[in-house]
Amino acid sequence: MFRSGFVAIVGRPNVGKSTLMNHILGQKISITSSKPQTTRHRILGIKTDEQSQVIYVDTPGVHLNAKNAMNRYMNRAATSSIEDVELILFLVEATTWTEEDENVLQRLKGVKAPVVLVVNKIDRIKEKEELFPVLEALAQKMDFASVIPLSALKGSNVKALERLVTERLPEAEPMFPEEYVTDRSERFLAAELIREKLMRGLGKELPYSTTVEIESFKQEKGMLRIHALIWVERQSQKRIVIGKGGEKLKEVGQQARLDMERLFDTKVFLQLWVKVKEGWSDDERLLNSLGYKDEF
């Protein structure tokens, strides 16, 4: 009896959705950072074994104030992902309940699929007896199919969640070949790895004004040659991304290249340029040309 189906991972920004999916898959598919809204696209992570194929849908965080076209795109990507799935994992933090969590909860109350409450970051609660009243209070917020406490970062109790997910999937044939781990192309993953390093290495606001476009992606003489553009919105931001004597850009490139070599299992030659494209994050046409297209 083989089981297969789609499982959406939803929650407010920066609650650990991408970290959870990466841990389940055993490799980095979705980029992560400590900053909210690191995930901008809906990304599939596919885990296949002898009994099942689970297609996890990692979504951008749902946020209240969709101030520009980019925010509205991310909200659409997140909301559409809960419509045609067999199961929804609603991630929250063990120690925090916010207005944004409440916003996601209200969106989930009308869905057809069962919702599992996944209480993440339990490693932050030192005394385990303090966890039980937290779980009890959270469980009252909706008629959840189940409540699973875990730590996506540490891997605690993730296997229990995987078992529950598999049990709840319908009997069905696999939808993807066994070797598939994601539906995204290597070009897309390369751009995301560069953006991750920008998210992690730059100040609080600047990463939200950057995006990455892969201009060239070629396999030559046993090596991947990748040329990428980093777009920013102002000339002053360009100077910050490049850094004094080009040091910041060099650091971003080195870190991204090492991750690419691990992911693609080949040597990588990476060249980065920084260009200014004013207002790209609030221009629907520009967003579309940069790959932020509604795919749902």
Torsion angles phi and psi, residue 262, rounded to 5: -70, -45
Comparison of pLDDT for 71 and 158, the residue scoring more? 158
pLDDT score of 296: 46
Please report the sign of the dihedral spanned by the C-alpha atoms of residue 31, residue 284, residue 75, residue 167: negative
Task: Judge contact between 91 and 16, C-beta under 8 A.
Answer: yes
Distance CA 75, CA 41 (A): 10
Judging by DSSP bridges, how do beta strands 223-232 and 267-276 pair with one another?
Answer: parallel
| End-to-end CA separation in angstroms for the chain | 30
Is the pLDDT confidence value at 67 over 90? no
Average of per-residue pLDDT values in the chain:
88
pLDDT score of 75: 67
Comparison of pLDDT for 171 and 76, the residue scoring more? 171
Tens-digit pLDDT profile for residues 175-222: 999 999 998 889 999 999 999 899 888 877 676 788 899 999 999 988
Tens-digit pLDDT profile for residues 111-160: 999 999 999 999 988 887 889 999 999 999 999 999 999 999 999 999 99
Q: What mean pLDDT is predicted for residues 30-48?
A: 77
Q: What mean pLDDT is predicted for residues 65-87?
A: 72
pLDDT score of 39: 66
pTM: 0.83
Task: Judge contact between 215 and 229, C-beta under 8 A.
Answer: yes
Distance CA 195, CA 228 (A): 11
Is the pLDDT confidence value at 272 over 90? yes
pLDDT score of 63: 55
Judging by DSSP bridges, how do beta strands 223-232 and 211-220 pair with one another?
Answer: antiparallel
Bridge partners (DSSP) of residue 268 are 224
In percent, the amount of the chain with pLDDT more than 70 equals: 88
In the chain, beta strands by DSSP E: 3-10, 43-48, 52-58, 87-93, 115-120, 146-149, 211-220, 223-232, 267-276
Domains of the chain, CATH where assigned: 3-168 (3.40.50.300), 186-289 (3.30.300.20)
- pLDDT category at 226 given cuts 50, 70, 90 is very high
Tens-digit pLDDT profile for residues 229-255: 999 999 999 999 999 999 999 999 999
Task: Judge contact between 42 and 12, C-beta under 8 A.
Answer: no
Q: What mean pLDDT is predicted for residues 16-22?
A: 91
